[in-house]
Amino acid sequence: MAQGTTATIDHDTSGKMNKVASWWMRMLTWREKHIPEKTFVAMLSLVVGIAAGLAAVLLKTLIALIANFLTSRFITEQGNLLYLVFPAIGILLASLYVYYIAREPISHGVTRVLYALALKKSRLKIHNMYSSLIASSVTIGFGGSVGAEGPIVFTGAAIGSNLGQAFRLTPQTMAMLVACGAAAGIAGIFKAPIAGLLFTIEVLMLDLTAGAVVPLITASVAGATVAYVFTGYNVEFFFSQSEPFYASRIPFVLLLGVFCGFVSLYFITFIDRIEARFKRLRNRWIRFAVGGITLSILIFLMPPLYGEGYEGITHLINGDVTGIFNNSLFYGYRDNTVAVLLFLFALGAFKVFATAATNGGGGVGGTFAPSLFVGVMAGVFFAYLINHLGIIDPDMPLSIKNFALMGMAGVMAGVMHAPLMAIFLTAEMTGGYDLFLPLLIVSASSYGISRIFTPYGIYSRRLAKRGELLTHQKDRSVLTLLKMDSVIEKDFSVVHPDMSLKDMVDVIAKSHRNLFPVTDDDGKLLGVVQLDDIRNIMFRPDLYRRMQVHRFMAIPPAKVVLGTPMEKVMKTFDDTGAWNLPVIDEENNYVGFVSKSKIFNSYRQVLKHYTYD
């Protein structure tokens, strides 16, 4: 009886599911007939923008609630021992959630969005809409020295992706919704709609076509509006420009830009190196122990490293340099010039270690906020040092507040290779529009220095190393989307070196190809025979038994190893002038041939689906 009841329930459930699926398909069919694609995408971009904006508000609220609950009773004038405990607990909780519930890595959200755009047809999993929210709020709220921006970009992108999948949209339309979600996430968490739009262009490297403008702007404005509704019409960091900017300061602004460029290189390089060392630790408990201990010690010694570091940023952009000593063992040295310089330097330098230890130890967060933090420290350190070296008029010192803002924009531009976003984001989240010219100078010069030494920003660097990055260069991007498995041709007749010319002619008669790979008995490639090369002897019967294949086979101009990125394959074609190249595996076993004509045909097919018009 119980089994029959269970079967009936399962049958009823299955029937209801089928009815829902049937209703959904009818609705999709109705939509295709009555709502134009561009109109529908614009409607969806509004939904994605609102959802991503709500996610941003929720994430910021959760982080603030956890952090305030844990640190509200801390004593300002001394060090607090709980800094040795809270960060490690946060990493532990986040890593357990990722390992046992999410069951896949979810940190480095922006890089994962880039990967989805490049190689996964913009498809992200359902749990990505909330898993980063949960893990990053715990990580950051307990003191993890990372940012919430990467997770919110991942969350917003996942919302767009899953909405696109639900409505059975094409890959290029889904890519647009992914970008809308990312833009809305940035706009919502910083209340910066223009920066959200520019983020998709410079960081996600989405082409801003005429058809993409409306949905991106709609999503960005919606995300920022939701943030304004729930948190008030105020900027992220309050900034009041009480000290005007003089044209005579431009040389110092240029120097700051160069300084920020090298600080950006330090940031990018050491984040990569330290996280790579953590990956070498195979045991996750050892990674957690090393990351947790490192982070806790750093935060105990330098409390501004706690969480995103926004409290320290707020102090500095309002000219309160001594405020960064709050809750630290060095509170009594806050009026000492050398101590201030050393503390600023240490905060900027060790924020990189704290961020890498958080992510490497199992926490979840991004590098966006850390780059803002390091930038502010760099700007204040630069201005404070110049002011106390005695090389300028002491009655007209460099403005600590102004240079803090410029440093923020400079390091952000250099780290992310996004100068326009850095300028507008800094202006939008602080209200510092009067400093637009110096922000432009610092961002451009810092980006220039960083670009000289590394062609990729921190988010695209990992994918670029693996040849999996889409860029604004259409040819390179389409080749990235092409995979060698899809262009290898295997319908070639294989011959062997000891075969006679007669046997070769018999193979030619049955083949529709004019190219023949030569392999040994183990399948290893020895050479190739081209029909044009033996045309003058293949009709001479007197040579049929005297000539063998090894006498007239040729060495191919190059071989392509299976798995080589298509961009390198095309470069090999250009270098050799060949039209066909043999493909081998790592052990020189023959696999097939790849041809220019096949690649060009595949290229045209991918290109038609690449750009959202």
What pLDDT digit, counting tens, does each position of 95-134 carry? 999 999 988 888 888 888 888 876 667 788 999 999 999 9
Mean pLDDT of 169-173: 82
Is the pLDDT reported for residue 49 higher than 70?
Answer: yes
Q: β-strands 488-489, 590-595: how paired?
A: antiparallel
3-state secondary structure (DSSP) of residue 561: strand
Enclosing H/E stretch for 518: strand 515-519
What pLDDT digit, counting tens, does each position of 542-600 carry? 887 888 888 888 888 888 888 777 777 878 878 888 888 899 988 889 999 888 777 76
The CATH number covering residue 342 comes to 1.10.3080.10
The CATH number covering residue 516 comes to 3.10.580.10
Instruction: Render 313-362 in DSSP notation, one character per residue.
Output: HHHHHTT-GGGGGTTSTTGGGTT-HHHHHHHHHHHHHHHHHHHHHHHHTT
Residues 20 and 63 in one domain: no
Residues 321 and 456 in one domain: yes
Whole-number Å distance between alpha carbons of 565 and 557: 19
Residues 280 and 370 in one domain: yes
Is the pLDDT reported for residue 461 higher than 80?
Answer: no
Contacts of 539 (CB under 8 A, 6+ apart): none
Task: Report residue 438 as tokens.
Answer: 């110096």
What pLDDT digit, counting tens, does each position of 232-282 carry? 888 777 777 767 788 888 999 999 999 999 999 999 999 999 998 998 998
Phi, psi of 424 (to 5 degrees): -70, -35
3-state secondary structure (DSSP) of residue 527: strand
Q: Is residue 266 part of a domain?
A: yes
Is the pLDDT reported for residue 612 higher than 80?
Answer: no
Of the candidates 447, 410, 413, 406, the residue with the CA atom closest to the CA atom of residue 430: 406
Domain tally, the chain: 4
Domain boundary, last residue among 167, 197, 231 = 231
Whole-number Å distance between alpha carbons of 256 and 437: 14
Claim: this prediction has a pTM higher than 0.85: no
pLDDT in the model for residue 603? 58
Residues 62 and 180 in one domain: yes
Of the candidates 144, 111, 147, 112, the residue with the CA atom closest to the CA atom of residue 128: 112
Residues 253 and 313 in one domain: yes
Residues 13 and 35 in one domain: no
3-state secondary structure (DSSP) of residue 528: strand
Phi-psi bin for 523: left (phi > 0), alpha (psi -120 to 50), beta?
left
- pLDDT confidence of 334, banded at 50, 70, 90? confident
Enclosing H/E stretch for 46: helix 37-71
Q: Give the sign of the dihedral formed by CA 516, CA 519, CA 523, CA 525.
A: negative
Contacts of 474 (CB under 8 A, 6+ apart): 207, 607, 610, 611
What's the farthest any 2 CA atoms get from each other in the chain? 102
Is the pLDDT reported for residue 168 higher than 80?
Answer: yes
Min mean pLDDT across 416-420, 432-436, 589-593 is at: 432-436
Residues 321 and 225 in one domain: no
- CB atoms near residue 279 (< 10 Å): 9
Q: Is residue 239 part of a domain?
A: no
Task: Give the residue numbers spanning the domain of 290.
Answer: 247-475
Q: Is residue 241 part of a domain?
A: no
**399 touches 412 (CB < 8 A):** no
pLDDT in the model for residue 562? 84
Residues 23 and 33 in one domain: no
pLDDT in the model for residue 477? 47
Instruction: Render 442-511 in DSSP notation, one character per residue.
Output: HHHHHHHHHHHH-SS-TTTHHHHHTT----S-HHHHHHHH--GGGTEE--PPPB-TT-BHHHHHHHHHH-
- Highest average pLDDT, of 25-34, 120-129, 298-307, 589-598, comes from 298-307
Of the candidates 144, 21, 38, the residue with the CA atom closest to the CA atom of residue 91: 144
Cα 181–Cα 48–Cα 459 angle in degrees, nearest 5: 5
What pLDDT digit, counting tens, does each position of 483-525 carry? 666 778 888 999 999 999 888 888 888 888 888 999 998 899 9
- 464, HSE (Cβ side, Cα atoms, 13 Å): 11
Mean pLDDT of 395-419: 92
